[in-house]
Amino acid sequence: AQTVTQSQPEMSVQEAETVTLSCTYDTSESDYYLFWYKQPPSRQMILVIRQEAYKQQNATENRFSVNFQKAAKSFSLKISDSQLGDAAMYFCAYEFNQGAQKLVFGQGTRLTINP
Amino acid sequence: EPEVTQTPSHQVTQMGQEVILRCVPISNHLYFYWYRQILGQKVEFLVSFYNNEISEKSEIFDDQFSVERPDGSNFTLKIRSTKLEDSAMYFCASSGQGFTEAFFGQGTRLTVV
């Protein structure tokens, strides 16, 4: 079974600084997708960024970028120029590209932004 | 921008009662999901639904649970004979044809007392 592990329950960063959230996963598949979701205090799940496993290039969305290391099964999220609005729980998620689409989530990392 | 809408935002029910959580997925989406998040824990997959039938379900999704798409726009999760441990945030999500990311609703907080 696929598993996703986020080893950092909590992280904090100074406003305007850069922070990296870690995620590892376990799968025997070669074709899959990886995601980072943000969950602010409102508890809605918001997609931040996604990565297709067949793409070698790391995904980037404005201040958010990933470091995807397929061989190491690692998928970290880098947030540059951190803003107060970035404070939230961040969940890493895996989805196998076959059959029903279902997301397997990690335990989450709570990110605090210090002004 | 289209969005997934869930109602109610918060529901309190007595143990043993039945509840129905409602979702309106994005109109042209074909895949529908329910996820659950117990407070302080990770989000867990419950069930996926496609072409008017369940395509996959987790071990959590036992006979206590059922899903339905009664009228082509709503997607419901019914929980029969609720238990205290059913208290959680329930998220509906939908996705489109082929692989596209899932869009989540704002969640329904279910409290069983």
pLDDT at position B72 is 79
Q: Which residues of B are less than 8 Å from A103 in CB distance?
A: 35, 43, 45, 102
What are the two backbone dihedrals, phi and then psi, of residue A59, each rounded to the nearest 5 degrees?
-70, 150
B75 touches chain A (CB under 8 A): no
Provide the chain B residues 39-58 that lie in CB contact (below 8 A) with chain A.
41-45, 48, 50, 55-56, 58
pLDDT at position A100 is 62
pLDDT at position B67 is 97
Q: How confident is the model at residue B98 (pLDDT cuts 50, 70, 90)?
A: low
Spatial distance between the Cα atoms of A32 and B76, rounded to a whole number of angstroms: 28
For residue A63, give the nearest of A82, A47, A88 by alpha carbon.
A82
Q: Tell me if A66 sits within 8 A of A113, measured CB to CB.
A: no
Spatial distance between the Cα atoms of A41 and B71, rounded to a whole number of angstroms: 33
Q: How confident is the model at residue A66 (pLDDT cuts 50, 70, 90)?
A: very high
| Mean pLDDT calculated for residue range B18-42 | 93
If one counts every other C-beta atom within 10 angstroms of the C-beta of residue A110, the result is: 14
For residue B19, give the nearest of B69, B96, B74, B87 by alpha carbon.
B87
Q: Give A27-50 pLDDT, tens digit per residue.
A: 988 889 999 999 998 888 899 999
What are the two backbone dihedrals, phi and then psi, of residue B112, each rounded to the nearest 5 degrees?
-105, 125
Cβ contact (<8 Å) for A44 and B107?
yes
